[in-house]
Structure 1
Amino acid sequence: MRVTQSMLSNNFLKNLSNSYDKMGKIQEQISSQKKITRPSDDPVVAMKGIGFRTDLQEVSQFKRNFSEAHNWVDNTDDALSQASKIMQRISEITNQASNGTLTDTERSSVAKEVTQLRNQLADIANTKVGEKYIFNGTDTSTKPVDLTKTPPVSINTNPVNIELSKGVYIQVNSDASNVFSSDLFDKLDKLSKDLESNNPTNIDQYIDEVNNLNTQIVNERATVGARSNRIDLMEDRIGQQQVSVTKMMSKNEDVDMEQAITDLLTQDSIQRAALGVGAKIIQPTLLDFLR
């Protein structure tokens, strides 16, 4: 096949254009610091990037869920701690009153204190975080304890579960029926009345009952503590997952700047050499052949 001057020129210009395209792509990578700027540059890298971003979006949602879970658990623990302190105080004054040495004024004062402590327990049972009652299961819009009603307690025992990892749900509320039962408020009401009547024999029976009620609160608080520890461990794993996915996404998409600059310099050298050769191939006039 006869190779003409036109064929040499066209091939040179085609290769020169490809060389410019390569340089342009490398310059674009350096300026954007990304391997690709559009899916068509490398569909495989693009698809992997979509997967990594989906994973990071899920992790971000889980981190928001952890914030809500901590809100539930921490406020529950604080409330149970306050309730336990109140029960300890009730236990103290019940023991004092059981020996029958209190004066009428002292008994009346103690009876009033028990009533006030009972009211405080009701307030704790009706603890709200934001607009949600945390001790009424999934019925977060209704307060569980109303001392003006009979019975005073109406508790929803359904668990409140929050997804903290893909497909993993953790209960974040406490079963308040184990802690703030109608039995608790009924016994404290009767204790207050028996204190007013100065009947040490009747008061004795409350000592063990009050201690048992406090034990239930302490046990529930221990359950909350164990739940909090599990949430902390899961949150650490999610944090590690976020770091891992971010690194993989960076490795998939971010350009190696040192390599890119080296490639650019190499391509520039090739370009200059090609231009030098091309200047000899593309002769502008017939006189160049006659020299």
Structure 2
Amino acid sequence: MRVTQSMLAQNSLNNLNQSFERMGVLQEQLSTGKKITKASQDPVVAMSGIRYRGETNQIQQFQRNVGEVNNWMDSTDSALGKATDAMQRVRELTTQAANGSYEEGQRGNIAEEVTQLTQHVADMANSEVNGKHIFNGTDTTTPPVLNPENPGEENLEDYQITNNGDVYEHTNTNAAENEYTFHVGGDPANSSITLNYDNENNLENITDGGGNSIDKEEIIVTKESTNNNDVEIEVMQGVKMPVNSNPENTFQNGLFQDLTSLSATLRDENAGSEEISNHLDTMDKHIDNIVNERAEVGARQNRVEMIENRLGNQEVTAEEIMSENEDADMEKVIMNLMSQENVHQAALSSGARIIQPTLMDFLR
């Protein structure tokens, strides 16, 4: 077969174009640090990269979920700790008041402090994380303890009032007067408490059945029924962790009933030391409930910490595998690029020798 000058020139140009393409690929790997930039360059690497990247993203999402879990549990532990301190102080005051040497005025001062501590425990029951109540089950938008001064959009008919150890349930609403009446046990024949509001839903006063004024700090307004459902967050594939605390174990209605009953006993001038001492066992029971719940939360925190460590290890492993699949070996790429440059220079030199001089070269 006759090989012409044009065939040699065309082959030389084709080889040079292929050399340019190889150099272009190597330069792209060097600048991006990746083996491929298009799926068509290596479909196997591309599909594996999608799978590995999806796994890494899932692990990172679980890590963000664990951060949210820690936020909930840290807030829960803090609230339970402060509630425990308040209840311990109530017990100290109860022991102190049981001393027969205390006079009526001194007991009244102790009762006032117990009332303030009760309000503090109520504040802990309303603890929030990112605007969500952590002691009301899955009903995170509703406060378990309502501030009567600022009920907001909450329906007072869904709440009950605790005062002096008695529980007042809603019995009547006078919409025209904006009044909400509650009776002991929900029986209209028993004692009553009425909340009176103005047209802008601001609390005007609280009165009993005889029209006598009641201090807002002497009552506790709580939900009639407690939501005990768990708020769960997925921390691993198929593993959901309950992040909230069961309010039935801590801030149940019985707690506030017993606290207000203690305050009433301390204010009763006819109450004896033994009657006050009887409240100690009740306070101990509530303290134990809070401490036990806090211990349960602590046990879950330990498990979450182990899950967090495992996720960290999985993330490192997943990123290593993804790097091996996608990232270019820079040392190897640099060596190949230098070698290809030498090959390209040799191809240019040989091409210059293959292409014979033309008439134009002689006329220069």
After TM superposition, the score normalised by the length of structure 2 is 0.74
Alignment of structure 1 residues 136-215 onto 2, 5 Å = 136-146=136-146, 149-150=160-161, 151=167, 152-153=222-223, 154-197=225-268, 198-215=271-288
Please state if 1:258 is matched with 2:318: no
Instruction: Say which is worse superposed, 180-189 or 145-154, in terms of deviation.
Output: 145-154
More relative contact order in 1 or in 2 (CA 8 Å, sep 6+)? 1
1-structure distance, mates of 2:19, 2:128:
68
Matching residue of 1:241: 314
2-structure distance, mates of 1:201, 1:31:
85
Contact 1:66 1:235 in 2 (8 A): yes
Matching residue of 2:197: none
Deviation at 1:147, TM superposition (A): 8.0
Matching residue of 1:97: 97
2-structure distance, mates of 1:227, 1:115:
33
Give, as a single letter, the amino acid of the residue that structure 1 aligns with 2:17: S
Deviation at 1:146, TM superposition (A): 3.9
Give, as a single letter, the amino acid of the residue that structure 1 aligns with 2:63: K
- Larger helix fraction of residues: 1
2-structure distance, mates of 1:285, 1:193:
119
2-structure distance, mates of 1:238, 1:123:
35
Percent of aligned pairs with the same amino acid: 48
Deviation at 1:134, TM superposition (A): 0.8
1-structure distance, mates of 2:249, 2:25:
67
2-structure distance, mates of 1:157, 1:163:
19
CA displacement 1:9-67 (0-9 Å, x = unmatched): 43333222212211111112112222112111111111122122222322332222222
1-structure distance, mates of 2:68, 2:325:
33
Please state if 1:229 is matched with 2:302: yes
- May I ask how many residue pairs the two structures share in their alignment? 288
2-structure distance, mates of 1:20, 1:60:
41
After TM superposition, the score normalised by the length of structure 1 is 0.91
1-structure distance, mates of 2:317, 2:25:
29
Please state if 1:120 is matched with 2:109: no
Matching residue of 1:47: 47
Contact 1:122 1:145 in 2 (8 A): yes
- Larger strand fraction of residues: 2
2-structure distance, mates of 1:105, 1:156:
40
Matching residue of 1:129: 129
1-structure distance, mates of 2:147, 2:328:
67
1-structure distance, mates of 2:85, 2:265:
22
Deviation at 1:160, TM superposition (A): 0.4
CA displacement 1:122-177 (0-9 Å, x = unmatched): 11111122321110011011111248624534321000001112221100000011
Contact 1:93 1:110 in 2 (8 A): yes
CA displacement 1:165-211 (0-9 Å, x = unmatched): 22211000000111111111111111111222232222222111111
Instruction: Say which is worse superposed, 260-269 or 271-280, in terms of deviation.
Output: 271-280
Please state if 1:61 is matched with 2:61: yes
Give, as a single letter, the amino acid of the residue that structure 2 aligns with 1:38: K
Give, as a single letter, the amino acid of the residue that structure 2 aligns with 1:263: N
Give, as a single letter, the amino acid of the residue that structure 2 aligns with 1:204: S
Matching residue of 1:219: 292
Instruction: Say which is worse superposed, 202-211 or 75-84, in terms of deviation.
Output: 202-211
Deviation at 1:219, TM superposition (A): 0.5
Give, as a single letter, the amino acid of the residue that structure 1 aligns with 2:68: E
Instruction: Say which is worse superposed, 273-282 or 254-263, in terms of deviation.
Output: 273-282
Give, as a single letter, the amino acid of the residue that structure 2 aligns with 1:177: E
Please state if 1:272 is matched with 2:345: yes
Q: CA RMSD in A?
A: 2.2
Unaligned runs of 5+ in 2: 149-159, 162-166, 168-221
Matching residue of 2:11: 11
